[in-house]
């Protein structure tokens, strides 16, 4: 009886202690969650472990907005489009890396100076329609040699905004070709479907 009486006497303190511990645990848990989230404020999303960085994303949105300026496209539409594009790019990049799909040095030359060059419009003679590849190569060589700050910044912008997207486009085409060839209907199935479609049943 003395034990029960003791618990009754100290019951209020025990309940108070449990509540205090629960509050402390809640505050600590909330603080830890905030600290964990604070390290990711520079990212707007994470796709299979790969982050979409806010600064880079905002820059792409601004560039797209400039390209569509005066066409009545709302910024919200551009943000949604760019976000979907970033997610698609990350997913495709993850798959192409698993498969080992790359653009080698020889193929890079074809990407930059071939028929699908991202610089084709700028270096095409308007009068004749000729793609002046040698002029493009000469400008590349000159830009590569230059060590001036403006030239270095220009090289970085071209690499980031023109060359890298062109490489990604070529890798995407390889991936799509691989998928297309992987889902072709086998010859035996085509022949069977043809035979089934042309068979005559007698009733």
pLDDT in the model for residue 134: 92
Record the tokens describing residue 21, joined without a space.
């511990």
H or E element that contains 45 = strand 43-47
What letter would DSSP give residue 160? I
pLDDT in the model for residue 38: 46
H or E element that contains 47 = strand 43-47
Between these two residues, 74 and 184, which has the higher pLDDT value? 74
Residue 109 CA, chain-centre distance (Å), reads 24
Record the tokens describing residue 86, joined without a space.
């970033």
pLDDT in the model for residue 24: 66
Backbone phi, psi, residue 167, to 5°: -65, -45
List, in sequence order, the alpha helices (H) in 101-148.
Answer: 105-113, 133-145
- Percentage of residues of the chain with pLDDT beyond 70: 78
The full length of the chain comes to: 203
Cβ 161 vs Cβ 150: under 8 Å: no
Residue 55 clears pLDDT 60, i.e. is over it: yes
Q: Quick one: pLDDT band at residue 28, thresholds 50, 70, 90?
A: low
Q: How many CB atoms lie within 10 A of CB 201?
A: 4
Between these two residues, 149 and 202, which has the higher pLDDT value? 149
Residue 11 clears pLDDT 60, i.e. is over it: no
38-49 per-position pLDDT tens digit: 445 788 888 888
CB-side neighbour CA atoms (13 Å) of 5: 2
Cβ 78 vs Cβ 61: under 8 Å: yes
What mean pLDDT is predicted for residues 149-154?
Answer: 86
Report which listed range, 109-118, 144-153, 189-198, is most confident: 109-118
What letter would DSSP give residue 129? -
Name which of 9-18, 62-71, 102-111 the model is least confident about.
9-18
Residue 157 clears pLDDT 50, i.e. is over it: yes
Residue 122 clears pLDDT 60, i.e. is over it: yes
What rounded mean pLDDT belongs to the chain? 80
90-119 per-position pLDDT tens digit: 888 888 888 898 898 889 999 999 988 999
Q: How many CB atoms lie within 10 A of CB 74?
A: 10
For tokens 């028929």, name the residue: 115
H or E element that contains 52 = strand 50-53
Cβ 57 vs Cβ 44: under 8 Å: yes
């Amino acid at each position: 009886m003395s034990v029960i009486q003791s618990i009754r006497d100290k019951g209020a303190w025990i309940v108070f202690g449990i509540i205090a511990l629960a509050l402390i645990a809640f505050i600590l848990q909330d603080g830890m969650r905030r600290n964990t989230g604070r390290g990711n404020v520079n990212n707007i999303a994470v796709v299979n472990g790969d982050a979409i960085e806010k600064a880079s994303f905002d820059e792409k949105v601004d560039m797209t907005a400039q390209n569509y300026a005066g066409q009545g496209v709302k910024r919200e539409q551009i943000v949604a489009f760019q976000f979907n594009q970033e997610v698609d790019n990350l997913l495709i990049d993850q798959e192409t890396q698993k498969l080992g799909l790359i653009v080698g040095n020889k193929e890079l030359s074809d990407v930059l100076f071939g028929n699908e060059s991202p610089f084709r419009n700028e270096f095409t003679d308007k009068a004749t329609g000729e793609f002046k590849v040698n002029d493009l190569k000469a400008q590349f060589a000159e830009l590569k040699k230059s060590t001036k700050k403006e030239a270095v910044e220009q090289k970085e912008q071209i690499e980031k905004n023109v060359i890298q997207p062109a490489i990604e486009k070529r890798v995407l085409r390889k991936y799509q070709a691989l998928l297309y060839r992987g889902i072709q209907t086998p010859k035996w199935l085509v022949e069977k479907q043809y035979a089934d479609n042309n068979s005559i049943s007698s009733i």
